[in-house]
Structure 1
């Protein structure tokens, strides 16, 4: 009734003669790749919005922002993006176009303010200059200081 050998050989011949066997494969791979990349980007966006994995940028608010050459103290408030002051951060003041000897450092108190003693100088024929401020966040916190902070402007009397 049924001749299985002839059916098997007939299907082998038709498979071997079929040149369309992998025609749909590259299209399916491209679709799978596009869907996979889109899914991955959605998942990474969800992970990035979790507060535990996000670092918070700190900013420095010096008072006064404009000063003159000579020995003095400036108060630097360290704040997060919401304006909340941060305690136990280290404030570092360095020479910019105005000069100080070495670096001046201070740690913020419970109110988030550090008082830094500086003695800025301007060069000959220089009417103004700046001092740069850097913040070292408290140890073990999720704070970072990657962006440039407000500089202190030093102007000749």
Structure 2
């Protein structure tokens, strides 16, 4: 039993003289860190592929995409990544570099299309501008609208 203790303490019997643990500790920590990060990335990949935890991004498809100034209606289709139309979503059209009097809103019908009435105007010496489109997904759905949607280009007629 005394031989095992003297091996741990080193040849002179003190812990200060033992250099084996100090040299091996950083290598063991690096190995544990690499294994931990690899395991975490595998687990996060598994969690991200579960449909129940993933959100689905929506996009707007305005028709027409290019329009002129003056009072008119724009049909906006709300679609999911697979191209399927989404009903009961709220479409909000706001001023961009083209101006309208306050935001215009409409809700998509059973076909996933909302008709929004706008009256875009351009500033003096402004040849074109844009109207931005935002989507508020249906309540209780796993849809989100975090990325920028297709804008409507307004040109001077």
Asked if Structure 1 and Structure 2 have the same fold, meaning a TM-score greater than 0.5 normalized by the shorter chain, the answer is yes
Aligned alpha-carbon RMSD (Å): 1.5
Larger radius of gyration: 1
Partner of 2:55: 55
Number of positions where the alignment pairs a residue of Structure 1 with one of Structure 2: 150
Deviation at 1:40, TM superposition (A): 1.0
Moved more, 108-117 or 120-129: 120-129
Which runs of 5 or more structure 2 residues have no equivalent in the other structure?
A: 12-17
Deviation at 1:91, TM superposition (A): 0.3
TM-score (norm 2): 0.89
Partner of 2:15: none
Aligned-partner SS, 1:24: helix
Deviation at 1:132, TM superposition (A): 0.5
TM-score (norm 1): 0.89
Q: Deviations over 1:57-89 (max 9, x none)?
A: 100000111111111111000000100000000
Change (3 A) 1:94 1:34: same
Partner of 1:83: 83
Which runs of 5 or more structure 1 residues have no equivalent in the other structure?
A: 1-6
Aligned-partner SS, 1:85: coil
Change (3 A) 1:20 1:116: same
